[in-house]
Amino acid sequence: MDALLLRSLQGYVRDTFGPPVWQAVCRRSGLTIETFEPMLRYAPGLADRVAQGVAEVLGRPVEAVWEDMGTHLVTNPRHQGVRRLLRFGGIGFTDFLQSLEELPGRTRLALADIDLPDLSLKELAPDRFEIRCQSRVKGLVRVLVGILTAMADDYGTLSVIETDDICGDRIVVRVLDRFHNAARRFDLAVPDA
């Protein structure tokens, strides 16, 4: 999991702010490398340390860095595989939310060695959901907030997505308007290149 987060941070910073900013992050974080390989293993806690380096270089809260990276994973055209994997969760945003508990299993179909944290969903009321995400990576809940925000937009749904800063593992999603905008086009088949 750390390797994918590190590679995603690298891609987010390089795509959004350019290679010189990424190089500054690497120096700030005390890294001896500038490229992370998604299939290698890295020291536990390194992703949190690098994210903190990104936050310091950009002058932003680390929570905002994680959320923006989560949004980048869904919205960047080079990551269409992530969006496609997520969109298989249902035809609407609430269907997608209700399929989140299946996401680790679906992801393992594509990447057998990945160790995603368990997700649990509880419907608190109609159009109000609680998601729990247990992870040793501090920022993973914020990454999930960014992903959920991007997916709500992808489905054309207006929602409020908030984290519980006390526990740090709880996200509350309130769906305000399921048909606020037109959903982005999605086909089951991969479009021809």
pLDDT digits (tens, 9 = 90+) for 105-140: 766 666 656 667 778 899 998 899 999 888 777 788
Q: How far apart are CA 7 and CA 38, in angstroms?
A: 6
Helical spans, DSSP H, in 18-161: 19-28, 46-58, 62-75, 80-87, 93-98, 103-110, 140-155
Residue 22 CB-density burial (10 A; 0-12 exposed, 13-18 middle, 19+ buried): buried
- Reported pTM: 0.88
* pLDDT digits (tens), the chain, 193 positions: 678 889 999 999 999 999 999 999 999 999 988 899 877 888 888 999 999 999 999 999 999 999 999 999 999 988 887 887 788 777 889 998 998 888 777 666 666 566 677 788 999 988 999 998 887 777 888 999 999 999 999 999 999 999 876 557 889 999 987 778 777 777 666 666 5
pLDDT recorded at residue 22: 96
Domains of the chain in start order, with CATH, are 2-60 (no CATH), 77-177 (3.90.1520.10)
47, 139 contact by CB (below 8 A): yes
